[in-house]
Structure 1
Amino acid sequence: MVQFRRLGATTAAAVLLVSLGACTKTTPSTASAGEDADQQVRSTAGSGDGCTADKYNGGVPKRDLKAITVGFAQSEKEANPFRITETESIKAEAAKRGIKLITTNAQSDLNKEIADIQSMVAQGAQALIISPLNSEGLDPALKAAQDAKVPIMTIDRLLTTKQPCVDYIGWIGSDFVEQGKRAADALIAATDDRGETAILLGASGVNVTVDRTKGFKDQLAAKNSKLTVVAEQTADFTREKGRSVTEQLISANPKLAAIYAENDEMALGAIAALKAAGKKPGDVKIVTIDGTKGAVQGIVDGWISGVIESNPRFGPLAFQALEDFYSGKGVPPKTIIVDKEYTKDNASAELANAY
């Protein structure tokens, strides 16, 4: 049986499962290496015919996207390749479609993201795409947009306590529980299913962290894994904390055999800590989630055993959702994307497709 022993800070949040309703539409759940780098839809979930301008929060004016200003609220500092690529994708798609775009960056500050959204509404943005910093806490910004009849499309992190087609149009993102399950499978394979394991948790208060943790633990239990989770500690999705936390973990757990990092930045920080401790590639097996060039290069160099992709190229799907919203075609509550996987067998060939 899998054993869990908690050391250090841990997340304490309710588990959110992505539930697929009666009208769920599903496409193949995996993508092979070498496919187009843009996001592809795996499935949609929710009830009804989809959200349209007529239905949204009692009805909002129909717009021609090329005749209005769209605002994009980025949540985190663009020192992280995921955020850099996400913003670049939004900007590139807006330019491709001839849409006027204004952007903000909250610099990982919830209060600033609230102010950013309110500011874009005040500047005359008539539709918004937001990447929430936290799954909760944006209420003042959502209220400002509602009052101004400015619809919001959400990407990446889910607003867990809000209603689609009331507080936001819909959501586009990954199945984070499934990502955690796939990471567990990869780590079981890399370790021959034995050894002490640590989890580098992402930021508290977001569904990504909750779901990736749940998926990983559930899969270990389902497989009756012999991996023993001896520590799990928050490293906030950052490289710096990934390094400092790993330094503590390997000091407290000298027999540590594996690390599950809930994003690539934390994994790269862990590698720095392992190098400083005199470890060699492969001494501690690492599996991570994202798909950055640094992490995929880590597979090539032997430091990382596997990377589960989390594709940040939201631009095409996000703007298509706005088009479908205004055209009357409708937007489902949830659009779940395909995420591929990088392994030692495809990392060299796929490095160019990483971000």
Structure 2
Amino acid sequence: MRSFIAQQVDLIALAPVVESGWEKVLTEAKDAEIPVILLDRGIDVEDESLYTSFIGSDFITEGENAAKELIKLMGEETKVNIVELQGTVGASSANDRMEGFANIINENPNYEIIKSQTGEFTRSKGKEVMEAFLKSDGENIDAVYAHNDDMALGAIQAIEEYGLKPGEDIKIVSVDGIKDIFEAVAAGKSNIIVECNPLLGPQLAQAAKDLQAGKEIERWIKADESVFVGKEEAEAALPSRKY
């Protein structure tokens, strides 16, 4: 960012991996009168005027939608033990998806998150953590909530190696919407996909043009997203997936 500021660019788009630690360099950008647009993930700053806009998803709503669809699938009256594969510690997406999911689950006394641990948003770590969950609580796990599809795909591998059927013996809900998870749902190995649309380039380009034209832009430009449940919806969506 300091390199961009030194080049006196017209706009900086920032996709932050973690929420904290941005105040100083954002202040430098503001002093240089360079607008900053956040992409995909938010940040934690006391002075929100340090950035112009955020383009991306409502991660809390994603977590809430994951919980609502899981409850619809399994029924409100059913006793359900859930294990949670968290994203990267400190990431706004992980924090908010955890909060949103818990908001809904905690309202239903029949649903309980019995284990929650970071899988670092990777397939390999998701598999490793799921293996540990199965070793300690294998017979008690009814559902997996993964903060992204890659961890869910790792969990699917772990469940199969444990001798159970993912999508049947253990229900799976995950967030993102990559092609691999649509194929897994179509094959009956996962159940619910909460989309997190990463195709933000066109919205960023439009925001940049609007700023250059002197127009005001919204503080939060939300991505268009959907929820897909079951084989039929996954199969219907597969041909048009772009990521």
**TM-score (normalised: structure 2):** 0.90
User: Which consecutive residues of structure 1, in runs of 5 or more, have no partner in the other structure?
Assistant: 1-116
Query: Letter of the aligned partner of 2:57 in structure 1?
Result: S
Choose 183-192 or 267-276, whichever is displaced more. Answer: 183-192
Question: Which of the numbers 87, 94, 112 marks the counterpart of 1:202?
Answer: 87
Partner residue, 2:57: 174
Which residue of 2 is the match for residue 232 of structure 1? 116
CA distance in 1, matches of 2:95, 2:181: 22
Aligned to 1:298: 184
Higher helix proportion:
2
Structure 2 counterparts to residues 1-355 of structure 1, below 5 A? 117-164=1-48, 166-192=49-75, 193-222=78-107, 224-254=108-138, 255-281=140-166, 282-344=168-230, 345-354=232-241, 355=243
Paired residues of 1:197 and 1:258 also in contact (CA < 8 A)? yes
Is the 8 Å Cα contact of residues 200 and 223 (structure 2) preserved in structure 1?
Answer: no
SS at match of 1:351: helix
Opposite residue 239 of structure 2, the aligned amino acid is: A
Instruction: Indicate the larger mover: 118-127 or 209-218.
Output: 118-127
Matched-pair contact (CA < 8 Å) for 2:22–2:45: no
Matched residues in 2 for 1:228 and 1:169: separation? 39
CA distance in 2, matches of 1:163, 1:296: 40
Q: Percent identity?
A: 32
Q: Which runs of 4+ in 1 moved over 6 A?
A: none
The gaps in structure 2 that reach 5 residues or longer are: none
- Tell me by how many angstroms 1:258 deviates: 0.6
Deviations 1:175-223 (A, max 9, x none): 111111110122123333432210111112122222111111111233x
Say if 1:242 and 1:269, in contact at 8 Å, map to a contact too: yes
Is the 8 Å Cα contact of residues 130 and 155 (structure 2) preserved in structure 1? yes
**Which range is displaced more, 307-316 or 126-135?**
126-135
CA RMSD of aligned residues (A): 1.7
| Cα pair 1:186 1:305 within 8 Å, conserved | no
Distance 1:276 1:119, change over 3 A: farther
Distance of 1:225 and 1:189 partners within structure 2: 15
Deviation, 1:225, is 4.6
TM-score, length-scaled by structure 1:
0.63
Q: Secondary structure at the match of 1:346?
A: helix
